[in-house]
Amino acid sequence: MLDQVDIDTSHPPFDLLDDAGKATLKAAVDLVFYPAEATILHAEQEAEAAFVVAKGLVQAFDSRATGGERAFADLGPGDLFGSHAVLSGRARHSYRAAEESLCYTIPAAVFRQLTEQQPRFGAWFLEGMAVKRRHRQRERYAASGRALIARISDTQPAPLVRVKPETAIADATRKLKQQRVECLIVEDPQLGPGIVTRTDLLEAMALSFQQPSDPVGPLASRPVISVERNALLYEALVRMTEHHIERVLVHEGDQLYGTLGMAEVLAHYSSASHLIALELGRAQSVAQVADAATKLPHLVGTLFNQGAKMRFLMDLVSALNGRILERLYQLCVPPPLQEQMALLVLGSEGRSEQLLRTDQDNALVLADDLDPAAAAQAAATLSAAIGQCGWPPCPGQVMISNPQWRGDAPTWQERVQRWIAEPDAAAMMNLAILTDARAVAGNRKLAEPVLASLRSALGQDLALRSMAHQAIEFHTPLSWFGRIKHGEHGTDLKKGAIFPIVHGLRTLSLAEQIEARNSFQRADELVTRGTLSKAFGRDLQQSLALCMRLRLDAQLRHQGEASAHPNHVQADQLPRLDRELLRDALRIVGEFQDHLRQRFRLEN
Amino acid sequence: MLNALISALRPVRFDEPVVVLDLETSGLDPAKDRILAVAAVPVEGHRVLLHQRFERLVHDQGPVNPEAIRHHRLRPLDVRGGAPLDQVMSDLVGWIADRPLVGYATAFDLAFLSRALSPLGLRLPRRHADVRNLQQQRDARRQPESASPQRFEQLAQTLGVPIIGRHEALGDAVTTALMWIALGHSA
């Protein structure tokens, strides 16, 4: 049963319309019945309307460069389609009713008029993913109980320290130091208040070669972004996210009250992380480290539910995991050996992208003259301790207890050469996870020559092409996002989206000699070098973060259950906006695969 | 003359423009109960022209029937804001023009409407169709002995049509419009 006759305007994007806009919509929309197999919208044709599914199932088809069509998305009740066709004048995709379906039709002229006259509604379509992501973020913050209750007045904003525009940089810096604040308010009688941060001062001196006696006035940013002191804490977080800033002003009425930084906001949510760090510092036995380590998954769940950003979560988890491993290394490896080995974490842990612990993927680089038996002994003890702290043994034996994942630099270089010479699936996977390796304990210098020679060996065209080939192997968006039937496992986010993005970025980074390991940093660097456009780099990062968030959400909900399909989500049960974001993300993955195909001249 | 009459009584075709109509009333007796709300939507082919909908509340101060209010959820408060019945009726007749009428259990609605229209000297188009009767005739062709009229919800289910805003005049009119389209599609 449908509750109402008209389009539900309580959900995005229609909730972005004001009352006049909603009335315009209502006065224009019809309801149309489509028999099964009926084509609703033809690719390459002008669209007379945009559509919202009222009942039934509509499938979107992509025409392939090689000819033919492929279903790439399912649309169910509430889903909007054809908006791109209406706005661009021509449909990219075909849409067909997969079963008898009812759709609301919004005439093209009315749809265009609404996007032009209603800026928030228009931004939804014109600015694409970033806008949808912010809305979803708001929804998620709003859905989280504690985040709803916490107000800015519950935190301790930093006091406001004011200076005049003519104040010298040196005096301003002194004031920052004395008052222990991160920023100063520059009171300009003409321009109003501006803000100068520690970073601004540093960059003025170090990068723009200003003199300590120069005034701070010209460095101030305006207008200042501020939040009401009585507002909810997540508002501050959202404002910072929206404006790409790390600090907002807090005002009470028309009086400025203080400043609030991202760190303070997150500290309010995540004091538990400091406790874990403290506990680790004090731990004197493996059992005590394990005690502290078991609290980490719970922390991840809490922070996630409070709406923490994925990149922040991953950084935090990676920092804490690093401390756990370092502490275990100190406790398990005999002191004389500690400087003779380097512990590497591989794969997602190496990229600092692990959220919930998966298998141990680690390796040891040994000093040339180290006794293999002593190394084997230490590795066995350390591996067992890591297992005790919640990392189960790797089924593929990619771990330090396996002699194949220990060795001195020449041994490692020889292994790498062998993998490159005989690039079967296992060898390719080994190369991939080793590319992401990060030294977390011991004598980190030992690892450097191994990783450097790996990077240069993989930078060769042939090796790159075989790697790139893997990233395009899974046909993305699609058939697997096709119709999701009951009894199946849902949508495999790892195969379909996370792996192609991570592996593609890895391959491009190798080609460009980029040393960054984290996928988000790799994307940043690829943008800096012009390999990826700025917009596309951002789309890839957002798509990756989205898939990681959806996967984590599913994993957290099934925590404690032995899930056979930890990388699957039930796309048909996702909130509508997430489903829409996922569809966008899958399209981005497809575009990325095309980009890789061109870049590395690969066949389909 | 006769030809005109014959053409005026020919059955309503699924491919011609029609108006689907539903009333909410203060009770079930056309002789003494009153029209409280009128809703109608045009249908052309597979399209329900929501944007051309006709939707009116009728001003009413008659005795309150709690049973009927439970059904249509129109409180006395709601209908006090309605327009006078005569006004609504002449608007409706003008709006329908000569399009055939379609409804569920049309006889009920037509009885109420003709009582309201006759003092004004107005009349509805002669041609009309009843989705309940049409389905019953189809059932009778398949199983002559057991075919009986289907209740509204039952008919929607038989035809695979979603029930939209049940017991609101507009919702019932749109649901009935979809029944009409479904009947035409499977004809």
Domain boundary among A246, A261, A276: A261
What's CA A257's distance to the chain center, in Å? 33
pLDDT score of A439 more than 90: yes
Determine, for residues A2 and B164 on separate chains, whether the beta-carbon distance falls below 8 Å.
Answer: yes
A564 domain-assigned: yes
Q: In this structure, are A217 and A96 located in the same domain?
A: no
Assign A520 a pLDDT band (cuts: 50, 70, 90). Answer: very high
A268 domain-assigned: no
> Helix or strand or coil: residue B12?
coil
Which residue do the tokens 């275990």 mark? Answer: A328
Q: In this structure, are A48 and A177 located in the same domain?
A: no
pLDDT score of A186 more than 90: yes
A407 domain-assigned: no
Report the percentage of chain A scoring pLDDT > 90: 37
Nearest CA to CA, how far is A50 from chain B (Å)?
15
**Of A366 and A246, more confident:** A366
Which residue do the tokens 């509604």 mark? Answer: A121
pLDDT score of B171 more than 90: yes
Determine, for residues A27 and B185 on separate chains, whether the beta-carbon distance falls below 8 Å.
Answer: no
Structural domains of chain B in order of their starting residue, each with its CATH number: 14-185 (3.30.420.10)
Domain of A546, CATH number, reads: 1.20.120
Domain, as residue range, for A19: 14-126
From B48, B163, B171, residue closest to A30, measured CB to CB: B48
Assign B187 a pLDDT band (cuts: 50, 70, 90). Answer: confident
Determine, for residues B171 and A5 on separate chains, whether the beta-carbon distance falls below 8 Å.
Answer: yes
pLDDT at A124: 80
Assign B181 a pLDDT band (cuts: 50, 70, 90). Answer: very high
DSSP A458-510: HTSHHHHHHHHHHHTTS-TTSGGGSPPPTTS--EEHIIIIIHHHHHHHHHHHH
> Could you tell me which residues are beta bridge partners of residue A227?
A250
pLDDT score of A236 more than 90: no
Domain of A214, CATH number, reads: 3.10.580.10
Question: Which residues 6+ apart lie within 8 Å of A433 measured at CB?
Answer: A346, A347, A350, A361, A398
Assign A145 a pLDDT band (cuts: 50, 70, 90). Answer: very low
Question: What are the distances in angstroms from CA A559 to CA A300, A357, A508, A552?
Answer: 12, 12, 35, 10
pLDDT at A350: 93
Query: Is some CB atom of chain A closer than 8 A to the CB atom of B46?
Result: yes
User: Which of A49, A47, A544, A558 has its CA nearest to residue A301?
Assistant: A558
Nearest CA to CA, how far is A34 from chain B (Å)?
7
A42 domain-assigned: yes
pLDDT (average), residues B126-153: 90
Determine, for residues B164 and A35 on separate chains, whether the beta-carbon distance falls below 8 Å.
Answer: no
**Of B121 and A566, more confident:** B121
Q: In this structure, are A107 and A240 located in the same domain?
A: no
Assign A456 a pLDDT band (cuts: 50, 70, 90). Answer: confident
Nearest CA to CA, how far is B67 from chain A (Å)?
22
Contact criterion met (CB below 8 Å) for A356 and A300: yes
Contact criterion met (CB below 8 Å) for A390 and A293: yes
Q: In this structure, are A116 and A225 located in the same domain?
A: no
- The complex's ipTM? 0.90
Query: Is some CB atom of chain A closer than 8 A to the CB atom of B47?
Result: yes
**Of B101 and A88, more confident:** B101
Q: Tally the C-alpha atoms within 13 A of residue A381's C-alpha that lie toward its C-beta.
A: 14
Assign A148 a pLDDT band (cuts: 50, 70, 90). Answer: very low
Assign A325 a pLDDT band (cuts: 50, 70, 90). Answer: very high
The secondary structure of A267-294, three-state, reads: HHHHHHHHHHHHHHHHCCCHHHHHHHHC
Taking the model in full, what pTM does it have? Answer: 0.61
d(CA A157, CA A68): 60
The predicted-structure confidence for A35-50, as pLDDT tens digits, reads as follows 888 999 988 888 899 9
pLDDT at A275: 62
Q: In this structure, are A116 and A155 located in the same domain?
A: no
Q: Which residue of A has its CA nearest to B153?
A: A1
- My answer on whether omega of the bond before B100 falls inside 30° of 0, hence cis, is no
Q: In this structure, are A532 and A568 located in the same domain?
A: yes
Domain count, chain A: 3
Q: Phi and psi at residue A163, in whole multiples of 5°?
A: -135, 165
A276 domain-assigned: no
d(CA A156, CA A153): 7
Query: Is some CB atom of chain A closer than 8 A to the CB atom of B182?
Result: yes
Q: Which residue of A has its CA nearest to B52?
A: A27
> Could you tell me which residues are beta bridge partners of residue A70?
A62
Q: In this structure, are A156 and A252 located in the same domain?
A: yes
Q: In this structure, are A83 and A161 located in the same domain?
A: no
Residues 14-43 of B with CB under 8 A from A: none
Contact criterion met (CB below 8 Å) for A366 and A446: yes
Domain of A79, CATH number, reads: 2.60.120.10
Q: In this structure, are A523 and A590 located in the same domain?
A: yes
**Of A233 and A472, more confident:** A472
Of A107-121, A207-221, A280-294, B44-58, which range is least confident? Answer: A280-294
Assign A478 a pLDDT band (cuts: 50, 70, 90). Answer: very low
Assign B137 a pLDDT band (cuts: 50, 70, 90). Answer: very high
> Could you tell me which residues are beta bridge partners of residue A232?
A151
Q: In this structure, are A121 and A207 located in the same domain?
A: no
DSSP conformation class of A169: H
pLDDT at A271: 53
Determine, for residues B47 and A30 on separate chains, whether the beta-carbon distance falls below 8 Å.
Answer: yes
User: Which of A544, A463, A531 has its CA nearest to residue A496?
Assistant: A544
Q: Which residues of B76-110 are buried (b: 16+ CB within 10 A; e: fewer)?
A: eeebeebeebeebbeebbebbeebbbbbbbbeebb
pLDDT at B14: 94
User: Which of A107, A75, A110 has its CA nearest to residue A94?
Assistant: A75
The predicted-structure confidence for A273-292, as pLDDT tens digits, reads as follows 656 766 777 788 999 999 88
Domain boundary among A126, A157, A189: A126
Nearest CA to CA, how far is A105 from chain B (Å)?
9
pLDDT at A405: 95
d(CA A381, CA A11): 55
Domain boundary among A92, A126, A160: A126
d(CA A192, CA A121): 32
Greatest mean pLDDT among A420-434, A483-497, B51-65, B116-130 lies in B116-130
d(CA A411, CA A372): 12
pLDDT at A265: 74
pLDDT at A525: 96
pLDDT (average), residues B16-36: 93
pLDDT score of A99 more than 70: yes
d(CA B165, CA A328): 63
d(CA A443, CA A330): 12
Q: In this structure, are A525 and A573 located in the same domain?
A: yes
Average pLDDT, chain A: 84
Assign A487 a pLDDT band (cuts: 50, 70, 90). Answer: very low
**Of B87 and A222, more confident:** B87
A333 domain-assigned: no
Contact criterion met (CB below 8 Å) for B128 and B21: no
Q: In this structure, are A464 and A604 located in the same domain?
A: yes
The predicted-structure confidence for B66-98, as pLDDT tens digits, reads as follows 777 777 777 777 777 889 999 999 999 999 999
Assign A477 a pLDDT band (cuts: 50, 70, 90). Answer: very low
Greatest mean pLDDT among A93-97, A253-257, B40-44 lies in B40-44
What's CA A488's distance to the chain center, in Å? 27
pLDDT score of A426 more than 90: no
Assign A293 a pLDDT band (cuts: 50, 70, 90). Answer: confident
pLDDT at B146: 74
Assign A91 a pLDDT band (cuts: 50, 70, 90). Answer: confident
A566 domain-assigned: yes
Determine, for residues B185 and A33 on separate chains, whether the beta-carbon distance falls below 8 Å.
Answer: yes
Q: Which residues of B touch A6 (CB under 8 A)?
A: 50
Determine, for residues A100 and B181 on separate chains, whether the beta-carbon distance falls below 8 Å.
Answer: no
Of A171-180, A498-507, A522-531, which range is least confident? Answer: A171-180
**Of B74 and A441, more confident:** A441
* Tokens of residue A223, six digits: 């207008």
pLDDT at A16: 87
A91 domain-assigned: yes
Determine, for residues A30 and B178 on separate chains, whether the beta-carbon distance falls below 8 Å.
Answer: no
